[in-house]
C-alpha cells in the first residue's frame, strides 16, 4: 500500500512538501505518519551539527583506523551532548532515564542506572 502525504498550509497557493510512503499492509495513524515524514529534518539537522559543531568533516588522515577513531569520538561526543540536552530540556523526541526515579527507598539517594555510584 502506498501513501501520499501532502503538506498544504492554509494561506498558501500550492502545497509546500510531499512525501511518498510504501508501508505495506500495516496501518499507521496520521500523526505517526507525519512524525516519520518529519524525522528526515531532524536527521539532517543532526548531521549538520556533527559537521559544524563537533568537527566530523575535519579529519584529513589517510588511514582507515584513524578515520574510524575520529568518527567514533565525534559520535560519542554527539551522543553525550544529546543525552545531556534531553536531560536538561526533557525533549519529547528523546526520553532519558531520570535518575530521580531510581531513588533508593532505604537511603533516599539517587543512583545511576548501574546502581554502583550515586548521582550527584
The answer to whether 74 and 56 are in contact (CB under 8 A) is: yes
pTM of this prediction?
A: 0.50
- The CA distance from 50 to 71, in Å, is 10
19 by DSSP, 3-state: which?
Answer: strand
Residue 32 in this model has a pLDDT that exceeds 70: yes
Q: Domains of the chain: which residue ranges?
A: 2-89, 90-120
Using one digit for the tens of pLDDT, what is the confidence trace for 61-103? Answer: 888 898 899 999 999 999 998 898 888 876 555 554 444 444 4
Amino acid at each position: 500500500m502506498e501513501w501520499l502525504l501532502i503538506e498544504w498550509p492554509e494561506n498558501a497557493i500550492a502545497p509546500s512538501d510531499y512525501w511518498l510512503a510504501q508501508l505495506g499492509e500495516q496501518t499507521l495513524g496520521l500523526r505517526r505518519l507525519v512524525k516519520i515524514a518529519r524525522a528526515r529534518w531532524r536527521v539532517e539537522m543532526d548531521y549538520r551539527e556533527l559537521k559544524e559543531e563537533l568537527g566530523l568533516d575535519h579529519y584529513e588522515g589517510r588511514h582507515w583506523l584513524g578515520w574510524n577513531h575520529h568518527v567514533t569520538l565525534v559520535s560519542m561526543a554527539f551522543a553525550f551532548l544529546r543525552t545531556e540536552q534531553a536531560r536538561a530540556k526533557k525533549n519529547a523526541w528523546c526520553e532519558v532515564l531520570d535518575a530521580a526515579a531510581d531513588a533508593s527507598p532505604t537511603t533516599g539517594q539517587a543512583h545511576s542506572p548501574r546502581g554502583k555510584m550515586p548521582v550527584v
